[in-house]
Amino acid sequence: SNFQCLIDISNDDVDLEQLVNDMNSSMESVYSGVAQGHRRHTSPLPPSSPSRERLRQSQPMHIQAVRCLQEEHQLRPASLPAIPNPFPELCSLAGSPVLSPMQTSNNHIVKVWSEDGAGKVVEIPADMTARDVCQLLVYKSHCLDDNAWTLVEHHPILGLERCLEDHELVVQVQASMSSDSKFLFRKNYAKYEFFRNPLNFFPEQMVAWCQESDGSIPQSQLLQNFLNSSSCPEIQGYLYMKEPGRKSWKKLYMFLRRSGLYYSTKGTSKEPRHLQLVSDLEDSNIFTIITGKKLHNAPTDYQFCIKPSKVRSDCKELKMLCAEDEQSRTCWMTAFRLLKYGIVLYQNYNAPQQRKANLLPLSAPVRSVSENSLVAMDFSGRTGRIIDNPVEAQSAAVEEGQTWRKRSQRMNVLGSPSPLHPSSLSTVIHRTQVWFHGRIMREEAHKMIIQQGQVDGLFLLRDSQSNPKAFVLTLCHHQKIKHFQILPCEEDGQVFFSLDDGATKFTDLIHLVEFYQLNRGVLPCKLKHPCTAVAL
């Protein structure tokens, strides 16, 4: 039986150790070709070696995939066929989706905030300018691109903000900002207003070469001196500067040149030994201070600041300055931009006009009140004519207002009382307009006008705080903000709105705004630029 055979074999006088050695030697002879390379480095142990006396169990060993493949390729003899790897991409660092590093994109993530607190995330390349980002946001938000949109670099902790120039790289600016800073998407009508009316931005008493020459300086010569790098324009005047490490301010006579901002240590002397450098222009940017004069104990409300580009959140490196009035502050800040960037600003100003001129043969441009000056017209004859006489324009304005009132009365007679009746629409239709901002305070209206550039004709409408049935027109003229109350008046059971105590009446606020966009009337200037808050 099988059991008996096993017993007999075990009882035979057989040398088990010799049998195992013979089996090992036979296996080595079979695979001698495979082990030739290995024997060159490690010689086999003799059969009588003590380590061979006892068989050892195999132990698990961790072998890396790449190293294993390399050793297999080196030790495989030429006589054995090579087995192709069915999944080469899994063991290759270059092609493996797991082993290879992530493919980094050249695009960067930028988050932009709107006036209402909403944010939009955009992915942009590293070479995208601020103007291109604005056009992208205009396209995504379905806004009218009137070349007034801008990106604002906002630092809430420092209380600073500035409008980026159109040619600045957004990713580069973002790299120099702190974690609490952010970009705002806002309109700024005053960005290039100094190219249209330079004399309003540069008073002759503040421009050194204007003061030395006799007579008035033409606008073209004024701008050429700023844009030409070979000329030496100079802005001069008194400024308050905050002393470093203290809350006190010192009034100094300062000079702004291409080489930087200086103050005189001896009165108004311009001698080089009396001039002390405050800041250069190349590695600095100029900001508006938005925290108010109480926080810094400033002598006036017209503060601005020069901040080095490399400084992120260190208040000690900021040069805090304060002007006497808004006109002088605007002059200093505009001259800083012109002297720093020069002809590049003029190229930024001309770029939209050139792009529009190239598109004229293909498509008609969208007409915008902000870009086109509106004039009073007379269409009573066969052809229309421009009314140049202001007295005639005033009488035409009154007559046009009466015509609108009569048209509304005819609609009231012919129409039927319904939710869409003109009389009910007149009380709510203005809420759909971009220039109406509802129940905002006077201070908030001031802030919005200042943020979007204090140019002539910038306006908004809001609810009156003192009279719940009235409205207020907030208008900027000569860098001053004025408020005009729009009172309701009733006539023959119909409610009208008027700015001039009932002399000119309008059925709703849209008619009123359209009228004063064409005619100045009792206002100091026409309504030109609506103060807009867009929702991203």
Average pLDDT over residues 84-101: 57
Number of domains in the chain: 3
178 shares its domain with 312: no
Least confident window among 41-55, 133-147, 198-212, 453-467: 41-55
Query: Which tokens sit at 359?
Result: 């598109």
Query: Tokens 């380590």, residue?
Result: 51
Give the confidence band of 59 by pLDDT, cuts at 50, 70, 90.
Answer: low
User: For residues 84 and 129, which has the higher predicted lDDT (pLDDT)?
Assistant: 129
Give the confidence band of 171 by pLDDT, cuts at 50, 70, 90.
Answer: very high
Least confident window among 87-96, 137-146, 151-160: 87-96
Confidence (pLDDT) at 372: 46
Does the pLDDT value for residue 523 go beyond 70? yes
Beta bridge partners of 459: 475, 530
Q: Name the residue range of residue 318's domain.
A: 193-347
Confidence (pLDDT) at 43: 47
263 shares its domain with 337: yes
275 shares its domain with 176: no
Assess if residue 296 is contained within a domain: yes
Query: Which tokens sit at 330?
Result: 């605007």
Give the confidence band of 45 by pLDDT, cuts at 50, 70, 90.
Answer: very low
Confidence (pLDDT) at 294: 78
> What CA–CA distance (Å, rounded) separates 464 from 441?
9
Q: Which tens digit of pLDDT belongs to each residue from 474-495? A: 999 988 999 999 998 888 778 8
Assess if residue 343 is contained within a domain: yes
Confidence (pLDDT) at 413: 45
Q: Which tens digit of pLDDT belongs to each residue from 324-351? A: 999 999 999 999 999 999 999 999 999 8
Last residue of a domain, one of 347, 364, 394: 347
325 shares its domain with 207: yes
Average pLDDT over residues 246-271: 92
User: For residues 105 and 431, which has the higher predicted lDDT (pLDDT)?
Assistant: 431
Assess if residue 3 is contained within a domain: no
**CATH number reported for the structural domain that contains residue 173 in this entry:** 3.10.20.90
Q: Which tens digit of pLDDT belongs to each residue from 409-426? A: 444 444 444 444 444 555
Contacts for 153 with CB less than 8 Å, ≥ 6 apart? 161, 162, 163, 164, 173, 177, 181, 183, 287
Give the confidence band of 28 by pLDDT, cuts at 50, 70, 90.
Answer: low
CA atoms within 13 Å, Cβ hemisphere of 501: 0
Confidence (pLDDT) at 328: 93
Provide the pairing of β-strand 529-530 with 458-463.
parallel
**CATH number reported for the structural domain that contains residue 292 in this entry:** 2.30.29.30
Least confident window among 237-251, 266-280, 397-411, 426-440: 397-411
The helix (H) or strand (E) run that includes residue 251 is strand 249-257
C-alpha triplet 75, 77, 79: angle, nearest 5°: 165
330 shares its domain with 214: yes
Q: How many CB atoms lie within 10 A of CB 203?
A: 16
132 shares its domain with 179: yes
Confidence (pLDDT) at 332: 95
Mean pLDDT (the chain) is 77
Confidence (pLDDT) at 207: 87
**CATH number reported for the structural domain that contains residue 471 in this entry:** 3.30.505.10
Does the pLDDT value for residue 459 go beyond 80? yes
Confidence (pLDDT) at 263: 94
User: For residues 428 and 271, which has the higher predicted lDDT (pLDDT)?
Assistant: 271
Q: Are 319 and 279 in contact (CB under 8 A)?
A: yes
Q: How many CB atoms lie within 10 A of CB 449?
A: 21
